[in-house]
Chains A and B, each alone.
Chain A
Amino acid sequence: MKVTIRNPRRELEIEGPIRVRDLVSSLGFHRDAVLVIVDGRLVTDDTTITDDADVEIRRVISGGDV
């Protein structure tokens, strides 16, 4: 399946099926640092992603002296 990581943008091919939780940790992200969007929908940690899905991992951490 195609995994797009956003900001900064990066594309990866990862073999499914895989659980959201495992995908996030295998890429080295903290769970509070990302949202996972599968085929345009926000999904929970224990969702299993099938191999034909389109996945976006959106980083949500902002830097700077806000």
Chain B
Amino acid sequence: MCRGAPVIDLRQHNAAFCEEHFLRFCRSQVTKTIEKHQMFGPTDRILVAVSGGKDSLALWDMLDELGYTTEGLTIGLGIDNYSDQSTEMTRRFAAERGLALQVVDLAATYGFSVPDAAGRTGRVPCSACGLSKRHVFDQVAREGGFDVVVTGHNLDDEAAVLFGNVMRWQDDYLGRQRPVLAEGDGFPRKAKPLVRLTERETAAWCLLRGIDYVLDECPMADGNNHLAYKELLNTLEERTPGAKQDFYLGFLRQGLRHFEQGSDTARTDLRACEECGAPTSADRCSFCRLRERASTTSVTVELGSTKHPTGATS
């Protein structure tokens, strides 16, 4: 039996863990997830999507510690202090560990920030932000020859997304809510190795491992349902420990197979975006269309040539 001082209780497992055993527990949860879903192997090159928050830094730390070959990618979103602080913390984390990090600044590379995109197109910030992040991750992965892009989505994130998808019965989203999405049609493989850890656990990992992460929340996050769903699920968890885990892992085990994984018919007409080469069913991909409307250079582009003066490479 363990005689170390307890540092955290995990009620869903009905036990208190000492530091050493807690860290071991986290590693085994992640290893199990990677193996069970065949996310990647020891020789794969892994691109880690890093935000500077607890989840992505814990993920990067764990994968590096487990001996995987990783490179980080962080995106400067241009959201006030929040983005500067996030990039700074990510840089420091990578430098301290001698890890390779790419930083792509949206404004410098593409001519717009997330607040620009929201203000100029009327799009919800998180939607413009999500679209931009996915685009940049896909592109860097494609051009850099990475085998997989990994993100720090945790159990609370996935359970909240699942809750939202069920509330609206979005069968297409439910079919795609997988811990790993296979590569294909020019898109890289995507994996979420932290889906068995709660956010309390990823935060505790950072704390115990001495990882400084961004504590501030993105100021543009307000007003979406994601947080409300998390609260609801935590209320349930309080009454029934393990409820979040049962809900999400039960979905993977029993629910997911009843939903189709995307519509293959929509994908048969995919071609390369005229501007950036990303797979798209239109002439130009949704990111290039967003960029045209969001960047300050869009006026000249609309009046003059049909192409942007600079190619959208990172």
Most chain B beta-carbon neighbours within 10 Å: one of A33, A34, A35, A65: A65
- Are B54 and A65 neighbours in the complex by a CB distance under 8 Å? no
What CA separation (Å) do A61 and B145 show in the bound complex?
34
- Are B215 and A61 neighbours in the complex by a CB distance under 8 Å? no
- Are A42 and B207 neighbours in the complex by a CB distance under 8 Å? yes
What CA separation (Å) do A6 and B207 show in the bound complex?
14
What CA separation (Å) do A41 and B9 show in the bound complex?
14
Q: Which residues in chain B, 211-253, are within 8 Å of chain A measured between CB atoms? A: 215-218, 220-222, 224, 226-227, 230-231, 234-235, 237-238, 244
- Are B157 and A30 neighbours in the complex by a CB distance under 8 Å? no
- Are A45 and B226 neighbours in the complex by a CB distance under 8 Å? no
Q: Which residues in chain B, 178-192, are within 8 Å of chain A measured between CB atoms? A: none
Q: How large is the interface on B (under 10, 10 to 19, 20 to 34, 35 or more residues)?
A: 35 or more
What are the residues of chain B within 8 A of A37 when measuring CB–CB? Answer: 207
Most chain A beta-carbon neighbours within 10 Å: one of B204, B215, B224: B215
* Number of CB contacts from chain A to chain B under 8 A: 90
What CA separation (Å) do A32 and B245 show in the bound complex?
13
What CA separation (Å) do A33 and B53 show in the bound complex?
15
What CA separation (Å) do A32 and B227 show in the bound complex?
13
Q: How large is the interface on A (under 10, 10 to 19, 20 to 34, 35 or more residues)?
A: 20 to 34
Known: A44-B8, A66-B153. A58 touches B203 (CB 8 A): yes
What are the residues of chain A within 8 A of B217 when measuring CB–CB? Answer: 7, 62-64
- Are A32 and B237 neighbours in the complex by a CB distance under 8 Å? yes
- Are B130 and A61 neighbours in the complex by a CB distance under 8 Å? no
Q: Which residues in chain B, 94-116, are within 8 Å of chain A measured between CB atoms? A: none
Of the residues A33, A42, A61, A64, contact of B8 by C-beta under 8 Å: A42
- Are A32 and B234 neighbours in the complex by a CB distance under 8 Å? yes
- Are A45 and B9 neighbours in the complex by a CB distance under 8 Å? yes
- Are A58 and B215 neighbours in the complex by a CB distance under 8 Å? yes
| Whole-angstrom distance between the Cβ of A23 and the nearest chain B Cβ | 15
Residues 1-37 of chain A: 1 if any B CB is under 8 Å from the residue's CB, otherwise 0?
A: 0000011000000000000000000000011111101
- Are A65 and B216 neighbours in the complex by a CB distance under 8 Å? no
What are the residues of chain B within 8 A of A6 when measuring CB–CB? Answer: 215
What are the residues of chain A within 8 A of B224 when measuring CB–CB? Answer: 63-65
Residue of A whose beta carbon sits closest to that of B16: A44
Residue of A whose beta carbon sits closest to that of B53: A62
- Is A43 in the interface zone, CB < 8 Å from B? yes
- Is A60 in the interface zone, CB < 8 Å from B? yes
- Is B6 in the interface zone, CB < 8 Å from A? yes
- Is B156 in the interface zone, CB < 8 Å from A? yes
- Is B171 in the interface zone, CB < 8 Å from A? no
- Are A30 and B235 neighbours in the complex by a CB distance under 8 Å? yes
Of the residues A41, A60, A65, contact of B226 by C-beta under 8 Å: A65
Q: Which residues in chain B, 157-215, are within 8 Å of chain A measured between CB atoms? A: 157, 198-200, 202-204, 207-208, 215
17 contacts between A and B (CB under 8 A): A7-B217, A30-B231, A31-B11, A32-B199, A32-B244, A34-B200, A41-B7, A42-B7, A42-B207, A43-B7, A44-B7, A58-B215, A61-B230, A61-B231, A62-B53, A62-B217, A66-B152
* A residues neighboring B (CB under 8 Å): 6-7, 30-35, 37, 41-46, 58, 60-66
Closest 8 CB pairs of A and B: A63-B221, A65-B126, A64-B221, A30-B234, A60-B203, A7-B215, A42-B7, A63-B227
